[in-house]
A and B are shown apart, each in its own frame.
Chain A
Amino acid sequence: MKLYLNYFLIHLKSCMQYKTSFFLTMIGQFLVSFNVFLGVWFMFDRFNTVKGFSFGECLLCFSIVLMAFTLAECFFRGFDAFSSMISNGQFDRILVRPRGLILQVLGQRIEFTRFGRFLQAIVMLIYSVSNSGISWDLPRALTVVSMIFGGTVVFASLFILYAGFCFFTIEGLEFMNIFTDGAREYGKYPVGIYGKGVLRFCTYVVPFALFQYYPFLYLIGQREEPWLGLLPLVGCVFVVPCLLFWRFGVSRYRSTGS
């Protein structure tokens, strides 16, 4: 943990060396996801509701997904850039060091520029918490926390899975973006609106619905069972197969020799 803190500080210092570039990128991040927000707003301006969800409710869902994704991307970015780590031989160096592999890969890259997006997620969360008409109580507040936590873990697992594939393909697999970026893009609405098939996929294959849809239903009062708030934690189990796959990849690892 101390080592990770060191990595954290180094990255923070290094990106503060180029302040203008850092803030520009941050603003860029903000603008891009702000566009998505405007898109949602325009749609609700015209239709008012979608499958019984109001604008405030969707915004709450959107902000939670965005926040989870941003947190995962900020800290687990090392796995996202893993293909380059393998092809330039950096992973070999990591292997010979007497420290945990995952910790080191994580420390390779921490993206602070994502805070632009994070800021937006926070503003949206505050706005929607006060405007969604939900009667807040302790279990509901805890549910929001568990949703964000569960979401971060699921996204992080996907990044790890992605890195695991890199052991076999050397190059990054772009189709994995479907799950990460796709979930961020389309997670702005509760997944239930996409129909049964998508919902089933998001429940049993990649547990997006466990941290986004079911606890969300409890949150806005469409379902009353408080245990739904614990589902995001169940979704965290997804990390186990992903880590196993990564381990399997490490055991099969052959250096590219460069």
Chain B
Amino acid sequence: MKKYLSFFRIRFIHSLQYRSAALAGISTQFFWGMMNVLLFKAFYEGDPSAFPMGFAALSSYVWLQQAFLALFMTWFWESELFDAVTSGTVAYDLCRPVGVYAMWFTRSAATRCAKALLRCIPILLVASFIPAPYGLSLPASLPAFAWFILTMVFALGNVVALTMVIYMSAFFFVNPQGTRMVFVSAADLLGGSIVPLPFLPDGLRQICECLPFASAQNVPLRIYGGDLTGDALLQAVGLQVFWLFTLTVLGKWMERRGLAKVTLAGG
């Protein structure tokens, strides 16, 4: 366990180096958040009764989504990992006395945490100063905040476990680009990063909420604003744990299958 923790630290510090990129990211995400809030406001003014969640909860959702974008973005890939498989440098990783899956898992998680940490604070600060229904409001309640923190961790685990499945698929396909693209567009739509899940039409929404994609940002961000409470909350957390377990097992299994027949080109 200790070696993974120190590996986490190394990657974390490494990713903290890119500060100017973070600055650019902050300005873009801030703009994105603002436009999103304005957009939903236009819909809200048209027909408040059709709005599936409180407006303040939605604003919080948008701002948190932008602040923690780096934790949950599905289009972000560590190309080095794909390259490692295609070019054969994965052999070095295999020589180390650590599991490839666990190491890559820690690595992805660390990069995401570092990126998010650099970006989130200014966005959260500014967003909380924006007047009431449009800015980031305080969490719905203290327990909600505690749940929010807990589910954030699960959500991150879920995103990384999902991407790990794709990384592992590199062992089976020479060019994983196709799987990657389909995965990204599915995850974006079904995970609530294009429109929050409560806005999806009935029927589709219920299906989406059971899928692993919904166990990512959807859960913590909705808990924060008080949109997800009571039994629905417990159910969502249960699903998160379930998917985290299933995806990790799937990823590990793929790792074993992939490594069993991996042949390295020399050179």
List A residues at the B interface (Cβ < 8 Å).
20-21, 24-25, 27-28, 31-32, 34-36, 38-39, 42-43, 45-51, 173-175, 177-178, 182, 185-186, 189, 193-195, 198
Contact = CB atoms under 8 A, between A and B. Distances in A.
B24 A174 contact: yes
B200 A49 contact: no
Given A48-B47, A193-B39, A173 B24 contact: yes
Nearest to A179: B31
Contacts of B182: 31
27 contacts: A21-B175, A21-B177, A24-B177, A27-B181, A31-B182, A32-B184, A32-B185, A39-B195, A42-B199, A46-B50, A46-B52, A46-B199, A46-B201, A47-B43, A47-B46, A47-B50, A50-B42, A50-B43, A51-B46, A173-B24, A182-B31, A182-B32, A186-B35, A194-B35, A194-B38, A194-B42, A195-B42
Contacts of A182: 28, 31-32, 35
A184 to B, nearest CB: 12
A189 B42 contact: yes
A177 B213 CA distance: 27
A43 B28 contact: no
B24 A31 contact: no
Interface string B55-91: 0000000000000000000000000000000000000
Given A46-B52, A47-B50, A175 B28 contact: yes
A34 B186 CA distance: 11
Contacts of A38: 189, 194
Contact of B195 (A31, A34, A42, A186): A42
Contacts of A39: 189, 194-195
A43 B47 CA distance: 12
Given A38-B189, A195-B41, 16 more contacts: A24-B177, A27-B181, A31-B181, A35-B189, A38-B194, A39-B189, A42-B199, A42-B201, A46-B199, A50-B43, A51-B42, A175-B28, A182-B32, A186-B35, A195-B42, A198-B38
Contacts of B24: 173-175
A39 to B, nearest CB: 4
